[in-house]
Structure 1
Amino acid sequence: MTANLTVPYEQPEWNSKPAWKLPGWAEPVMVASILVGSMIITRRKGYRILDNTTRQYGLLSGEPDSTRSSNDLSRDYPLDDDLSDDMTTMKHPPKKRRVCCTTIYTPNSSRFAGNIHSRILQRFPFLIEMFYWIITYAFYRCTSLLSQAIFSETGIWDVAQDHGLAVLEFEQFSWLSFLWPVPELKVQQWFMHGHQTFLTVLNRSYALIHIPGTVGFIAWWYYVAPSHASFAVVRRTLTLTNLLAFIIFICYPCMPPRLLPQEYGFRDSVRHDDAQSVWMSGKYVNSLAAMPSMHFGYSFCIGCTMLYHSGVFRRTLEIGETRKSKPWVLFYVLFAIAYPSWILITIVATANHYYLDALVAFFVAIVAYRCNRIFLVFLPLEDMLLWCLRLDKPVPTTGTRHRQTQG
């Protein structure tokens, strides 16, 4: 299978010294600063954690009902005639959930709104978003262990190498070869020969943009989205993109070009510049997770969100949203195109991904967007978890600026 693959006639050599190494604490400080800053900026103004006289948000107030789930996974179904008279007269009636054509009644944790940890979340609702992403990141860390367990007998390293070479062969000889006329190797060699300073910039981009950049985007979108429903669609899409990619990581380990045998000509430029992300290193990092490229999957979702936010393709806007000025529309449109393009160049030039990785990530993101409401099935579990923790789900502050402007 690998005998037909073309290999370079010359080996690229480094003519530049490794770049200055970023301190190990820099990325965590960056991410923590983004999260803390976002938590403060998106706080619920006028709400005091230790002031029990602070008004509770409800149906008669200007804010959504505090019993709502903040993720717009999320609507609370109205109580109807199916409930007994005793339940309809309860101060905290149960929530009615519709899951898989079945009606489920779950405990209403709004009775715990006065608890100190509930009030902290009510003051800083962005904390709940941080919790969601911690769970997602923890699941990613498990993919390496699960994949190794599945391929323990055959040897995961050999399997991943075969998959990587199969991807290269598919790109060169399949009917889709016209999609990538310039092979990944030639792209990296162009940077290696006379453009290594630019390659160093790409190495830094690969390490720093993926986690801090994505966290920054989530924080930004939580603040500027016209409604929490719009924010939730993006967040659910990103989360489902993650989960689908994780399943592929586990079932189809794929060696990135930089880890292929040296005779294939690829160089690990990120490692040469000591630009590895601390979030993608350590005992449980999955270094054989090239397929699909989450760097490109994230960037594609972000680009689509920017395009949506520009309003250029929307005839009607959401309630409270206003048309942006032409310079801002141009900025968002250009960013929507430039950011995924930059990431694509980065992942190919640094030999961390194949073109096919980006193509698969594109389709994974599309599927995730179309199916993002599948997370509704977890609402009863969320309700039960909140009940066990004696915690009331905070009301999101997303869209508050637009509602205030409209008022």
Structure 2
Amino acid sequence: MDSLNITIPYEEPEWNSAPAWRLPGWAEPVMVASILIGSMLITRRHGYKLFGRRRRSQGLLDDDIDSARSSDDLLSRDYMIAGDDVSEDSMSTMKYPPKKRSCCGTILYTPNSSRFADHLHSRIMQKFPFLMEMFYWIITYAFYRCTSLTAQAIFSKTGIWDVAQDHGLAILEFEQFSWLSFLWPVREQEVQQWFMHGHQTFLTVLNRSYALIHIPGTVGFIAWWYYVAPSFNTFAIVRRTMTLTNLIAFSIFILYPCMPPRLLPREYGFLDSVGHNKAESVWMSGKYVNSLAAMPSMHFGYSFCIGCTMFYHSGLFRKTLEPGESRKSKPWQLFYALFAIAYPCWILITIVATANHYYLDACIAFFVAIIAFMCNRIFLVFLPLEDLLLWCLRIEKPIPTTGDRARRSGR
């Protein structure tokens, strides 16, 4: 690697841009919590009383339609039919028949948690169904927090820092000397140096964007999409795609630790502008934060998923709309379409200019997101486990409110 000309001579300019205002450590968690609580209130089920007995005569939450919705709109759930081990007549005498699940070609019967629908914690979930989405993302974040420890355990003998640095230099080598080098005519070092010489104020804006957009912005998007998506099916596809994108990326973080450009030795021409500008996010520090997780770029992976969702939401090039969805006005279509293009481009510029990712990180994130979209239904195999968990917690899964707002407004 030393024989390759991937280092560049440069003279670090004096950092004369005013430092970004550093947020106190509690500000970002409060920001995220505010987004989640606000979304929970906005997406609450109107007309549902938190206290009081439900009217069983209407079969609320007990009938097959609502119970199927509460588990997943994309999964067709039928109760046992004639020909099964248990007869249809015996099933008809059961007040809470088990759920019939199809998992990997096998039919499974799981406990029906609708009997717990009158429990207070179940009623809270029914009143605020967005709590279920918060639960999913807490699990995902917990997996991320484990990637650093797992990678360190795997590479404990060879030294994860040296391995990650070798991987980072290998990416630079590939970008500059492989047959695909024409895809990146401008080096990452040259992009950052352009901002460093005469455009430091703009770089300060990008530093703050990198720190603030990733977590609060993504959480805000999930909350917004839950509220405006035309159906829960459509929302669930995006949520599962982003979740699977996460899990694939986390696996790569563990097996291929990669040092971001900003942490490479200085002779390679990069500067940790976010740290230099004192614009670090609270999510970028801590014992369990994986600082050697440059490949792939989840900043770009998220932005690509968000951009695709925005373009779909615009309604452009869609001849038919979903049931209850109204055609948006031309200004709104244009707004969503332009945002769908501008947001990933902004993130790409941000991650390269701040030396947090390589071009190849964004390219791999692009393909990871595509694969995740094509395979997102794989998460349906976990529904039996979810049924068992809800049974153990004595909770009936809430009926989503997604789609209610879309049927009332075409915006």
* Contact kept in structure 2, 1:7 and 1:265, CA below 8 Å: yes
Q: Offset at 1:363?
A: 0.2
Q: Offset at 1:177?
A: 0.8
* Deviation string, structure 1 residues 277-311 (Cα, Å, up to 9, x no partner): 11232001000000000000000000000010011
Q: Report what 1:93 is aligned to.
A: 97
Aligned runs of 1:103-182 on 2, under 5 Å? 103-182=107-186
Aligned runs of 1:321-400 on 2, under 5 Å? 321-400=325-404
Q: Quote the Cα distance in structure 1 between the aligned partners of 2:273 and 2:47.
A: 50
Aligned runs of 1:202-281 on 2, under 5 Å? 202-281=206-285
1:40 aligns with 2:41: yes
The one-letter code of the counterpart of 2:20 is A
More displaced stretch, 194-203 vs 273-282: 273-282
Q: Quote the Cα distance in structure 1 between the aligned partners of 2:81 and 2:226.
A: 33
Q: Report what 2:3 is aligned to.
A: 3
Distance 1:23 1:405, change over 3 A: closer
Aligned runs of 1:297-316 on 2, under 5 Å? 297-316=301-320
* Contact kept in structure 1, 2:61 and 2:114, CA below 8 Å: no
The one-letter code of the counterpart of 1:51 is G
Q: Quote the Cα distance in structure 2 between the aligned partners of 1:251 and 1:73.
A: 33
Q: Report what 1:296 is aligned to.
A: 300
Q: TM-score, length-normalised on structure 1?
A: 0.96
The one-letter code of the counterpart of 1:6 is I
* Contact kept in structure 1, 2:6 and 2:173, CA below 8 Å: no
More displaced stretch, 116-125 vs 12-21: 12-21
* Contact kept in structure 2, 1:296 and 1:340, CA below 8 Å: yes
* Contact kept in structure 2, 1:16 and 1:196, CA below 8 Å: yes
Distance 1:59 1:153, change over 3 A: closer
Q: Quote the Cα distance in structure 2 between the aligned partners of 1:78 and 1:53.
A: 23
Give the match's secondary structure for 2:308.
Answer: helix
More displaced stretch, 395-404 vs 101-110: 395-404
The one-letter code of the counterpart of 1:264 is Y
Which blocks of at least 5 consecutive residues in structure 2 are unaligned? none
Distance 1:287 1:304, change over 3 A: same
More displaced stretch, 4-13 vs 369-378: 4-13
* Deviation string, structure 1 residues 246-282 (Cα, Å, up to 9, x no partner): 0000000000000000111100011112221112320
More displaced stretch, 236-245 vs 18-27: 18-27
Matched-pair identity in %: 76
Q: TM-score, length-normalised on structure 2?
A: 0.95
* Contact kept in structure 2, 1:21 and 1:273, CA below 8 Å: no
Q: Quote the Cα distance in structure 2 between the aligned partners of 1:16 and 1:403.
A: 49
Q: Quote the Cα distance in structure 2 between the aligned partners of 1:326 and 1:403.
A: 19
* Deviation string, structure 1 residues 98-120 (Cα, Å, up to 9, x no partner): 01110000000000000000000
Q: Offset at 1:7?
A: 2.3
Distance 1:280 1:73, change over 3 A: farther
Distance 1:46 1:64, change over 3 A: farther
Q: Quote the Cα distance in structure 2 between the aligned partners of 1:57 and 1:359.
A: 50
Q: Report what 1:27 is aligned to.
A: 28
The one-letter code of the counterpart of 2:345 is S
Which blocks of at least 5 consecutive residues in structure 1 are unaligned? none
Q: Quote the Cα distance in structure 1 between the aligned partners of 2:143 and 2:331.
A: 40
* Deviation string, structure 1 residues 307-352 (Cα, Å, up to 9, x no partner): 1001102111100001100000000000000000000000000000
Q: Quote the Cα distance in structure 2 between the aligned partners of 1:280 and 1:207.
A: 8
Q: Offset at 1:64?
A: 5.1
The one-letter code of the counterpart of 2:258 is C
Q: Quote the Cα distance in structure 2 between the aligned partners of 1:248 and 1:234.
A: 21
1:12 aligns with 2:42: no
Give the match's secondary structure for 2:3.
Answer: helix
The one-letter code of the counterpart of 1:10 is Y
Report the count of equivalent residues.
Answer: 405
Taking only aligned residues, the RMSD between alpha carbons, in angstroms, comes to: 1.8
Q: Offset at 1:73?
A: 5.7
* Contact kept in structure 2, 1:109 and 1:391, CA below 8 Å: yes
